[in-house]
Structure formats: structure tokens, C-alpha cells
């Protein structure tokens, strides 16, 4: 795994979760000095700079990281909606950004994509469960070789369940891990997305996502056998 630098030191839970979900580890810093000390001690794959609490300090950190002889990149910025215009004319300081409110899955995808573009990703991973194939690099899924037309959140829910076959997740856990800690939708959101996924998987493969009564959902470990 590669290390991703996160600012500030007390980074928001959804930011740290996104780094973990992108299959990287994180190290938090609170200023440029600590960031440079960290970069001198280990290889840093990129940085996530959360500007929501202190935009000026975040921009200064990004500029400092860029000025290093071994410039740290990619840099992904996390912003509030009123900060977006502040990025105009500063495009050289970052590769990508997300704006609050955002879902953990969106930030995860942007981190993975930014690192992959610079050859620092964790590598292509394809989750294979019988007829179901989930490509975590291209964000595509297929069933028996036929591509599934999924929305972003349908894909993220399928990817999360498929990456943990046999493990049961409550609706609340799925809301936190897929939609993010700051998502205010109810548990019905999960049920609706599961129903849509089953419909798109088709009658022959709808059993891949199993309901565990009074608990939640899981991906079948024996998905190739319709009788399970």
C-alpha cells in the first residue's frame, strides 16, 4: 500500500475512510514542516488537503508541496461550496477536488483515479464472483460478460458487498461505509439500491445479494450456484 498525506492533522472521518477504501494508508500532518518531515522519511504517493476549515492554510500547504524538489502529487482538495471560486487561477496546485456535501464513494474514486493516472495506484483489481465481475479500476461491472448499466452509487454498493463476500452488513453500516458518515438518508436508501441492483442483475442472478432477515445484506460466497 502507498501512503497518502492528509491535512489537517485531525482529518475528517470521511476523508480518512475514503483513503482507506481506495486501498491506501494515510498519515496526517498539521503544517508544511511536518509534511516535509514525513516526505523525507517515506515515499508519499499523494495528498488530500481538506480546505473546509482553513482555506488559506490549505492553499499555502499545497503551494509548499508543489515547490518541493520532489513535488508531491497528485493533490486532491476537499472544499465547501463557497470555496470553489477560490481555486480559479490556482489550477497548478491540485489535480482534482470534491465539494461538500460529497459521498465517501466519490472521494474514494477521485483519490484512486488521481493516483492511478500518475502510476501510483494500488493496481487493477477485478472482483470475480462466479458470473459477476467488478473492475475497480474502470468502475464497471458485468454479469456473464454483459456490462451492467449502473449508477455510481449502485456500482459502489455492489463493489463494497462484492469485496466482502459472505459478510453480513446492517443497513446502517452500509450507509456509513458506502454513502458516508455525513449522509442523512434513511435505511430505505439501501433497500431501494439493493432492489435496483437485483433488477439489473436479472432474475437468474438476483440471488447474488442475499437478505439476512432482521440484520441486513450480504454478497453470496457461492454466487455461481443459484440454489444457494
Architecture of domain 126-219: Orthogonal Bundle (1.10)
Instruction: Give pLDDT, residue 121.
Output: 55
pLDDT digits 0-9 by tens, 70-110: 778 889 999 999 999 999 889 889 988 999 888 888 888 88
Q: Are 17 and 104 in contact, with CB atoms under 8 Å apart?
A: yes
Burial class (CB in 10 A: 0-12, 13-18, 19+), 191: middle
Q: Which three cell numbers stand for residue 79?
A: 472544499
Residues of the chain with pLDDT under 70: 1, 117-124, 181-185, 222-228
Q: Where are the domains of the chain?
A: 3-117, 126-219
pLDDT digits 0-9 by tens, 30-44: 999 999 998 888 888
Instruction: Give pLDDT, residue 226.
Output: 41
Measured between alpha carbons, how far is 107 from 56 in angstroms, rounded to an integer?
Answer: 22
Q: 132-156 burial, b if ≥16 CB within 10 A, otherwise e?
A: bbbebeeeebebeeeebebeebbbb
Which class in CATH covers the domain with range 3-117?
alpha beta
Q: What is the largest CA-CA distance in the chain?
A: 60
Q: What is this structure's pTM?
A: 0.58
Q: Which three cell numbers stand for residue 1?
A: 500500500
Amino acid at each position: 500500500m502507498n501512503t497518502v498525506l492528509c491535512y489537517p492533522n485531525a482529518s475528517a472521518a470521511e476523508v480518512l475512510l475514503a483513503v482507506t477504501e481506495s486501498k491506501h494508508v494515510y498519515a496526517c500532518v498539521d503544517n508544511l514542516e511536518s509534511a516535509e518531515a514525513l516526505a523525507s522519511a517515506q515515499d508519499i504517493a499523494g495528498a488530500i488537503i481538506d480546505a473546509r476549515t482553513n482555506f488559506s492554510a490549505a492553499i499555502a500547504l499545497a503551494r509548499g508541496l508543489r515547490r518541493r524538489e520532489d513535488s508531491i502529487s497528485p493533490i486532491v482538495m476537499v472544499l465547501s461550496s463557497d470555496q470553489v471560486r477560490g481555486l480559479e487561477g490556482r489550477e497548478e496546485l491540485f489535480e482534482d477536488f470534491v465539494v461538500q456535501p460529497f459521498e465517501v464513494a466519490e472521494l474514494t474514486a477521485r483519490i484512486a483515479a488521481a493516483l492511478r493516472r500518475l502510476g501510483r495506484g494500488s493496481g487493477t483489481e477485478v472482483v470475480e464472483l462466479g458470473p459477476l465481475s467488478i473492475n475497480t479500476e474502470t468502475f464497471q461491472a458485468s454479469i456473464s460478460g454483459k456490462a451492467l448499466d449502473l449508477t455510481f452509487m449502485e456500482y459502489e454498493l455492489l463493489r463494497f458487498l462484492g469485496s466482502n463476500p459472505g459478510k453480513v452488513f446492517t443497513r446502517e453500516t452500509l450507509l456509513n461505509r458506502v454513502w458516508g458518515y455525513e449522509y442523512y438518508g434513511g435505511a430505505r436508501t439501501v433497500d431501494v439500491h439493493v432492489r435496483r441492483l437485483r433488477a439489473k442483475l436479472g432474475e437468474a442472478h438476483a440471488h447474488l445479494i442475499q437478505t439476512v432477515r432482521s440484520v441486513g445484506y450480504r454478497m453470496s460466497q457461492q454466487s455461481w450456484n443459484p440454489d444457494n
